[in-house]
Amino acid sequence: MPTPRRRWTLCPSEIQVRRLGALLLAAILAGPAYGQTKSELVCGTLKAESWKTAATSHWTIAGPSEKITETGVLKSGPRFECIEGAVLAVEFASSAGHSIFTAYFPDGTNIAYGRQQIDRRGGRIVLPIQAKARIAAPYRAAFDYHCRLDMPADPIRPAARADCLF
Q: How many domains does the chain have?
A: 1
Residue 141: its pLDDT value, please? 94
| Structural domain includes residue 19 | no
With contact defined as beta carbons under 8 Å apart, do 91 and 111 qualify? no
Encode pLDDT of 74-129 as tens digits: 999 899 999 999 999 999 999 988 999 999 999 999 999 997 888 899 889 999 99
pLDDT band per the 50, 70, 90 thresholds, residue 20: low
- Cα dihedral 91→95→98→100 (10° resolution): -20
* CA-to-CA separations, 90 to 9, 65, 70, in angstroms, rounded: 59, 18, 12
| Structural domain includes residue 133 | yes
| Structural domain includes residue 1 | no
| Structural domain includes residue 136 | yes
Residue 164: its pLDDT value, please? 73
Domain that holds residue 77: 38-163
Helix (H) or strand (E) holding 57: strand 56-62
